[in-house]
Structure 1
Amino acid sequence: MEIVAVIPARYGSSRLPGKPLCDLGGKPVIQHVYERTMSAGRISRVMVATDDERIAQAVRSFGGEAVMTSHNHPNGTCRVAEAIKGVSCDGVVNVQGDEPFMDPALVDQVALCLCENPEIPMVSLRYPLEKEEIDNPNRVKVVVDQTDRALYFSRSPIPYRRVHGATVYGHLGIYGYRRDFLDRYISLEPTPLSESESLEQLRAIEHGYDIMVPVARGRHAPGIDTDSDLLWARKELEKEIS
């Protein structure tokens, strides 16, 4: 299978406007994401899908490929779908544009999962949550069946811990789609649960499509949403360099 990666990057973030262009160790955040995604061995092409010419220019200045997309997309998946129009590929990996410490091994894991499970239209990853993160609504939780297919995603703690023993898993915001399913997904009507939780992946489940969510086999780090996240990222990068 030929797998391409698309990095959706908006300028207009309510909590940290222009975050793809924020400086991180002498490079914009989006460059870190791009370079780490390029390091994945199973990806044939990497594109940044943006709605802002400033981001596009920054990407082109470091030799990356940028695609201009509409300002009106309701989520990153729809932006990715527009970006790959006319692109020849079998599958697409959607890498978040605000995760400068994205492990290339996770990108490869999603791509490999698409290759090895031709019956699965959509793939993502999960990881064990720390106890202090379980009640945080910004940490999306996921429960799966015995074959790693998602049963539900929620901002609430799931499963309910009446009896201790079940691991609580967080959801990593990296997605893989079969090309034909991505085209189909953007035409699906909004669904009650996806609207209630404000989680776009629930739309696929409510329409009867499987999402495979294996445990991540690589390092994961939080993305940048706020000024404090940016400060943390700068300190983290200094540790890596030293």
Structure 2
Amino acid sequence: MRCIAAIPARYQASRFPGKLMERLGEKTVIRTTYERVSAMELFDEIMVITDSEAIFHEMNSHGARVLISQKQHHTGTDRISEIAEDLEADIIVNVQGDEPFIERRALEKLLKVFKKDIKGDIQLSTLAHPLKDPFDIQNPHRVKVVTDKNDFALYFSRSSIPYYREGEERADYLGHIGVYAFRKQALIDFTSLPILANERAERLECLRFLEHGRKVKIVRTTYKVIGIDTLEDLQRARKKLLFYK
């Protein structure tokens, strides 16, 4: 099974434009993410797909395989899907460029789903971790997911789902981590699926699969995401990097 990691790298992020070219220690955010994934030795190939000449030159100058997307895209997954047809791969993993602390064990668990799925029933899997902090539960930038008993997604939302009618706080909220593993054909198909009402309202690409009746396997992990969506996130990431050193 040939597995590729593809890192979508949009320059003009809506909440924090240019964040991938910000410094995280001695390197840019995008370079830090790329080198972290590369060091895991989980993938047969790793590449960056970007809309930015600046990101292209940054990554190309450090030996990465980097491609410039030719179209405008709604999501990182759509950006990867543009070039998926030409990739020699069975599984393509979308690792967000703003996840510089993504853990090996989390990605390893994601890939194991497909290794165990002999019949090829699972087309898309993604990560989730327990949410216990009330701030994270209420924060619309921390996406939540609810699952069925077999850990297939029922719904993703920026709202605090599930809602407890009696107001009781419970420790079974799941926070979605925006790392997706697709079978190649499922990724190719993704971009041809129309964007429907819920994805348009929530601006969550994972809802596209659900709204078209496809299943999404949730892989639970203890990895606590430190994605970089705001300047405050970047400051926290810089502090974490100092802690690592």
Shared fold (TM-score greater than 0.5)?
yes
Cα distance in 1, alignment partners of residues 145 and 41 from structure 2:
28
Amino acid at match of 2:163: Y
Cα distance in 1, alignment partners of residues 83 and 224 from structure 2:
26
Cα distance in 1, alignment partners of residues 16 and 71 from structure 2:
17
Residue 188 of structure 2 corresponds to 183
- Counterparts of residues 100-179 of structure 1 (less than 5 Å): 100-117=100-117, 118-130=120-132, 131-162=134-165, 164=168, 165=170, 167-179=172-184
2:211 pairs with one of 206, 210, 216: 206
Amino acid at match of 2:19: K
How far is 1:115 from its partner?
Answer: 2.4
- Counterparts of residues 41-60 of structure 1 (less than 5 Å): 41-60=41-60
- Counterparts of residues 33-112 of structure 1 (less than 5 Å): 33-112=33-112
How far is 1:104 from its partner?
Answer: 2.0
Aligned positions, number:
240
TM-score (norm 1): 0.94
**Which ranges in structure 2 are unaligned for 5 or more consecutive residues?**
none
In structure 2, do the counterparts of structure 1 residues 144 and 104 end up closer, same or farther at CA, with 3 Å as the change threshold?
same
Residue 194 of structure 1 corresponds to 199
TM-score (norm 2): 0.93
How far is 1:173 from its partner?
Answer: 0.6
2:235 pairs with one of 231, 236, 239: 231
Is residue 81–residue 190 contact of structure 2 (8 Å, CA) maintained in 1? no
Cα distance in 1, alignment partners of residues 123 and 131 from structure 2:
26
Cα distance in 1, alignment partners of residues 104 and 240 from structure 2:
17
Q: CA RMSD in A?
A: 1.5
Cα distance in 1, alignment partners of residues 41 and 181 from structure 2:
15
In structure 2, do the counterparts of structure 1 residues 105 and 166 end up closer, same or farther at CA, with 3 Å as the change threshold?
closer
Helix, strand or coil for the counterpart of 1:17? coil
Cα distance in 2, alignment partners of residues 155 and 228 from structure 1:
19
Cα distance in 1, alignment partners of residues 15 and 206 from structure 2:
23
Amino acid at match of 1:230: L
Identical amino acids, percent of aligned pairs: 40
How far is 1:231 from its partner?
Answer: 1.6
